[in-house]
Amino acid sequence: MERAVRIVFLSVIFSASRINCQEAILHISNGNTNREYCIVYNQSWTPLSQTLEAALQYPLVNMTSNVLCNSSGISPDVVKGKALVVMRGDCDFSHKALVAQSLGATTLLIASNNTLVTPSANDSEYAKVHIPLALTRYRDFLEAQQVFGEGMQVQLYAPPHSKIDPSIAVMLLIAIVTVALGGYWSGACERDRLNSGTEGGGGDGKADSGELFLYSPLKVVIFVGLMCGMLVLMYFFYNVLVYIIIAIFCMASASALFSCLDAVMEKIGCGTVSFSVRNWNFSVRSLILAAVCISIAVVWGVYRNEDRWIWILQDLLGIAFCLNFMKTISLSNFKICVILLSLLLVYDVFFVFITPFFTKNGVSIMVQVALGPDASGEKLPVVMRVPRFSAWAQNLCGMQFSILGYGDIIVPGLLVAYCSRFDVWINSRRKVYFISCCIAYLLGMIMTFAVMLLSGMGQPALLYLVPFTLITSAVVAGCRGEMRQFWAGTNYEVLDSSREPLLPEGRSDSSIEGEKC
């Protein structure tokens, strides 16, 4: 069951891009009070000013009782030289705009009870319309009516959208810190195991401390194949499986957060008090941590669609999930690392770049699964999210995020963790392999973001992270003359558990004390 949960999660935790509408800002005032609301427009119509100061101000006429498919019953004197708001429906956007323009209106706002879409028309219709046209939410207009009454003055403007946002730096920091901490934790656990004399045993791929080891190339291929199958199932049965994934995430992330916090408490020397009830032993510290972790997971589960602040909890739970995954799942040698990361690179590229040729809407399966088929529906908790700080207009319409899939942290992180454990096996005080792989991961992430900014579209991060980390690790091993040992790794895959872990001659196990595993 535990392995099945991990396969389910790994199959859907890869990067995706987000397609943005053309958002702008509706500024409403009455001389004393100002409010700003979301509008969606199309640059093919009359363009909007980029600043509030440059935007012209017009009185707003409320005609939401009318869909404006014709001008009957409307006096031109009422709307001439003013902005006009009508309801969406019954006729095309271009038709409404032409009617408003013929009545002398200077701006047309279309109030919608449905999801806002970019207003569009045939190419021949754009040139006929000479007034700004935009969609706004009807509930926003009702709120503005309560605040301003009938004396509303409106301005429409569209601040320029910056490609480079500070959120990218925050995302980069989250990724590299998570990978480095996960690798360090895995190495510390290996050091404790060696110090305590515990050896990996058996052909089932489990060590005594509960870690799971990927040690067979065939099992790696089967593992990746199951991931592909799960992703395809998610594509076809998203509306059902999404709730199963959400439930699994709540349980897995709460358990991971407990494991992380418990290790921190042990590291800083926080004691605990135990008591017994009917021959059951309980730790006060563990009970408190469990209550806190479960509460955080439940709060996230209840408020998961509240974009304004819930991303903080999702990132916290996601970081804990990635850390615990890198500590728990171990790759036994560099050969397994090469096979697994190469297969996942092909997996990532195929489902991002190739599947758009087979889907009906031309959007990749990876993007549709990661973001959900409906922008307003449930989304899988498989990405780190940081709000775009400079996207003021876009955030009015709905929080815009820079995102990074958990897989872009976990998959290279498994190699970083292997490098950290190898440093322990060869008693490398400088942690050459671990530090080199972390630096390679950082450079790969920088390359990913650079290509994303230059191309203007989301990238499969593993396309850059896998070559950077694998090649760097191989070069370091080759330069140090340790490629044979680095390639062979430990003997977890050997059925004879009486053999010692593979160490170069003349080297000894590290005696450095590590934190709790």
Bridge partners (DSSP) of residue 135 are 40, 110
- The residue with tokens 């017009």 is 58
Catalytic one among 408, 423, 496, 509?
Answer: 408
- Which parts of 30-114 are beta strand (E)? 34-41, 58-63, 83-87, 107-112
DSSP letter string, 245-261 = HHHHHHHHHHHHHHHHH
Is 162 in contact with 68 (CB distance < 8 Å)?
A: no
* CA contacts within 13 A on the Cβ side of 203: 4
> Which positions ≥6 away from 133 have C-beta within 8 Å?
41, 42, 45, 46, 93, 96, 97, 107, 108, 110, 119
CA distances from 152 to 27, 78, 132, 141 (A): 10, 15, 18, 11
Which residue among 140, 262, 348, 423 is the active-site one? 348
Residues 6+ positions from 8 with CB-CB distance below 8 Å: 230, 244, 245, 248
- Beta-carbon contacts of 203 under 8 Å, excluding residues fewer than 6 positions away, are 493, 495
Whether the CB-CB separation of 135 and 41 falls below 8 Å is answered with yes
| Sign of the CA dihedral running 172, 173, 174, 179 | positive
* CB contact at 8 A, 132 and 39: no
Distance spanning both ends of the chain, measured CA to CA: 22
Exposure string for 469-496, b = 16+ CB within 10 A, e = fewer: bbebbbebbeeeebeebbeebbbbbbee
Rg (CA), the chain: 28
Q: Which of 17, 37, 16, 54 has its CA nearest to residue 395?
A: 37
Looking at the chain, the number of H-run helices and the number of E-run strands are 17, 13
Asked about 423 being catalytic, the answer comes back as no
Instruction: For residue 364, report the phi and psi dihedrals to the nearest 5 degrees.
Output: -65, 150
Token readout for 369 is 């699964």
Query: 408 catalytic, yes or no?
Result: yes
**Residues annotated as part of the active site:** 348, 408
